[in-house]
Amino acid sequence: MEICMPVRRVTSGLIIAAVFAWSPLFAQTTDNDFFEAKIRPVLAQKCYGCHNSKMVAPKAALVLDTREGLAKGGVSGPALVPGKPEESRLLKVLSYADPLVQMPPSGKLPESVLADFEQWIARGAADPRTSASAAAASPQYKGMSLEQGRQWWAFQPLAAVRVAETPTATFTAWPKTKIDRFVLDKLQSRKLDPSPQADRRTLVTRAYVDLLGYKPSYEEVQQFLNDRSPSAYEKLIDRLLVSPHYGERWARHWMDVARYGDDNSTSEATNPPYPFAWRYRDWMIEALNADVPYDRFIKLQLAADLMPSATRDELRALGYLGAAPMYHHDLRLSGDVIGGFLTDDWDERIDAVSRGVLGISMGCARCHDHKFDPITQKDYYALMGVFASTVRVERPTFPVDPKIERRYLWLQRQLFDMAYSVNLLGNEGTTFTDGAEKAVKWKAEVASLKAEATTLLAKYPQLVQSLEKFWNPPRRIVPPPAPAAAAAPAPAAPRSPGAAPEPPAASATAALTPASAALAPAALAPGAVPTPAAPVPPPPAARDRVLSSSDPFVNAVFEAAQYVDASDPSYTFIVYKPGEARNMPLLKAGNYAAPGAIVPRGFPAVLSKGDTAFQQGSGRLELADRIFTDAPGLAARVIVNRVWGWHFGRPLVTTPSDFGTQGDKPTHPELLDDLAARFVEHGWSLKWLNKEIMLSAVYQQSSKPRPDALQADEANALLWRQNPRRLDIEAYRDTLVRSAGVLDEQIGGLPGDLDSDTYFRRAIYGRVSRARAAQVLALYDFPEATQTAPDRDVTITTLQQIFLMNSAFIQNLAETAAKAAATATGDAEQIAMLYRRILARDPTATEMRAAIEYLQKGTLARYAQVLLATNEEIFLP
């Protein structure tokens, strides 16, 4: 590029000189007007978002909102050769003539606009902008005022949108639902035709994967193919929607957004694994099966404990907050450091709710007013107060007198922290300022808390039992003297004994090996931190009991304000005040040590109808309510867009967790609005939405490539076909296991190990570790569960193929499938049986010949493995 630049400058200089030489002045003015009328609005609307001079790193280093930027070009070189449209990269990219770079990504510009660009470049690419006016042309990137913000498309109230009668006669019969008319309208305006309906086998496969999360068996396909009634497809959808396996598919989708996990990324003493998170997962499955309205589905996850209409059983939903990712709080650290950790935790909740539910990013406002969106730092700390008044606890599944429960929950937290602290004291490797005094004082406090708990909770023995570990810590695991260690003065343990108070997983790496993962149980009881070197893992039963437990508790939250007590310069305590709420100070640059003015708890101003402030308790219930009273349009658009993406592999807004100015705009805004409005009208029913989408002609289109359409719209932004998809890892693993005939379809329960060669339950039941995802999940783009995930990547790697070629897991499945097929007589029958089991169809004559020929050299089991590894198995056309 350095070499190109001077040459180009000379060229364009010559051309501009040439233009001046023959153009009268008025022609120049006309060219400028042409730019203002035809070119600049398009650049502003379609390009500035990613290519503007205010950005630290504009995409492709190309800046289009200044004259200088446009003249300079980007990483691929000059954008323009004035006078030569055919040599101008800008036009090539806009025309979608470059297979790799096609702009704008939301869809090709209309031919008439492209013609304008061509004409503009041909006439010398006049650009009258000055630097000042360039900035003025993109005011939205300097942040938004509240008033401007309220005009933002995603925040507008919803209303059903009228759609014009389809003007063309060609496809009058094509639309099946209202959705189709929006899509057809847009396709026709770009002179594209929709694709024909997919074949029936494809339709039934799509329906099974989209609603149940695995491909149908041969028999299930046949059942549909044999139903010749006109309503066969609708009946299929209805049948699958009431299957109890529907919830397993749709809970897993939501779990990406809810960043579901069974533990923490470090799982140390104060942020141990969540033994009851699985109950939250099971609640999601049941709630989605029951088609709990989406607004209630969200409210329960935020505030089930505060909703008069919620049942005790629905406390499980609080896992959304109670099993949220969090950090270890080593109380030996200073108050500012602990305060910093707490605000990190609360920040995570704000991020999960704002991006996951509201589709806006508030994280930026932790340090300063949002630079692009109408979110202020005040809005941010108004929400932080809600989470600073919400404390993570394990709550009983059985009913308890509310007053007693509240005190119990406080006791649980207080005992946890005290037992953790006493344990630190007791460790010989740790010295403390005033250690002896502290020992006396803290032990006395534990004793007093114990006395209170045993009296208060006399009627609830299970609650007392749940606290016993705090005053009666299980004995430490003492490492047996290793032979080598006996000889050496200091044992060559992974860590020195002085490190013992660090809980086992303090070394993230150590926690990752199976042997040390087995040490995790002790981390659960804060008073019982084992010597990390302990080489003898507890028996598997003990390990499972502690990583996950079926004791009658849920990982949930309760109402209490949290403060940091730094009055002792050598030790920090967290103070919990049940029933109280805390307003956070605005933290300058996000720094806990630099508090500013107190911000009342409340709802983001730009979304509020009326007063922003919350009045009751933490404000959690008000937050949950106001999402749906004050911002129902946004909440509905966000979930409808997600559901669309889960049905199509590409959402209408391609940044599903960012509907702000930095996100993409919808490809079909009217369709999104209309569908969201009707979704709300239909009582926020997700099953209604599933069905409405699946009955559309758009959804039922073939996904086969069409050269003309690919040429015009390779990204399929216009929906000229259904998108061909790769199964996600859950659907793929479940389909593989089901193909072998060994899928255990039992619903719910404790999590298991997905990396086990013989774990045949559905993938949703695999343990989701934030420290270490199961290898099979990591291999296939499973999102990290440490933060809300907007979408999933689709990668192709050699390690995936190695897994299919050589792993014991696949070989076991292949052998199982082959064993079943071997019961048939003769090669042909056996081959046919394998095809039916694995690919859910009969082999063609050619395939049969090839397979029989293969059996001369290979075995039936190996052939089964070949079929399992096919593109056909992992692909969803």
Partner 1 sequence: MSLKLTRRQMIEALGGGVGVVGLAGLFASISRSELHAAGLGNYAGPRLPAKAKHVIMLYMNGGPSQLDMFDPKPALFKYAGQRPSAVDLRTERTTGGLLPSPFEFKRYGRNGVQVSELLPQLASVIDEICVIRSMYTFNPTHTPGRALFHTGSVLATRPSMGSWITYGLGTENENLPAFVALGNAAGGGPQNRSGFLPTEYQGVGFAVADPDPEKIIPNLRNKNVDPAGQRTDMDALLQLNQNYSASFGTDRFLEGRIKSMESAYRMQFEALDLFDIRKEPEHIREEYGTGAFGNGCLLARRLVEAGVRYINVDYPGGQIWDDHRDVNDNLRKRCPDMDQAAAALIRDLKRRGLLDETLVVWGGEFGRTPVSESGSGRDHNPYGFTMFVAGGGFRGGIAYGNTDEFGFKAEQNRVSMHDLHATLLNQLGMDHTKLTYRYAGRDFRLTDVFGEVVKDILA
Spatial contact of 595 and 587, defined as CB atoms under 8 Å apart: yes
Q: Is 370 helix (H, G, I), strand (E, B) or coil?
A: coil
The DSSP call for residue 47 is: I
Length of the chain: 877
Spatial contact of 784 and 770, defined as CB atoms under 8 Å apart: yes
Give the Cβ contact number of residue 649 at 10 Å.
Answer: 19
Locate all alpha helices (DSSP H) within 616-771, ordered by sequence: 620-629, 632-648, 669-681, 686-694, 697-700, 707-712, 729-739
CA-CA distance, 2 to 10, in Å (whole number)?
Answer: 14
User: 876 forms bridges with which residues in the sheet?
Assistant: 725
User: CA torsion angle for 758, 764, 767, 773 (degrees, to 10)?
Assistant: 100
- Whole-Å CA distances, 373 to 104, 152, 673, 846: 22, 9, 21, 59
Q: How is residue 606 written in tokens?
A: 């730009």
- Whole-Å CA distances, 479 to 268, 500, 519: 20, 12, 12
CA-CA distance, 19 to 230, in Å (whole number)?
Answer: 66
Helix axes 200-211, 218-226, angle to 10 degrees: 120
CA-CA distance, 133 to 256, in Å (whole number)?
Answer: 43
- Our CB check for partner 1 shows the closer of 240 and 776 to be 776
CA-CA distance, 574 to 338, in Å (whole number)?
Answer: 8
CA atoms within 13 A on the CB side of 820: 18
Burial 325-358 (b: 16+ CB within 10 A, else e): bbbbbbbeeebebbbbbbbbbbbbbbbbbbbbbb
CA-CA distance, 667 to 717, in Å (whole number)?
Answer: 7
Q: Is 472 helix (H, G, I), strand (E, B) or coil?
A: coil
Q: Is 566 helix (H, G, I), strand (E, B) or coil?
A: strand
CA-CA distance, 797 to 795, in Å (whole number)?
Answer: 6
* Residue with token string 């101008």: 88
- Whole-Å CA distances, 708 to 90, 716, 721, 860: 22, 12, 12, 42
Least distance in Å: CB of 533 to partner 1?
10
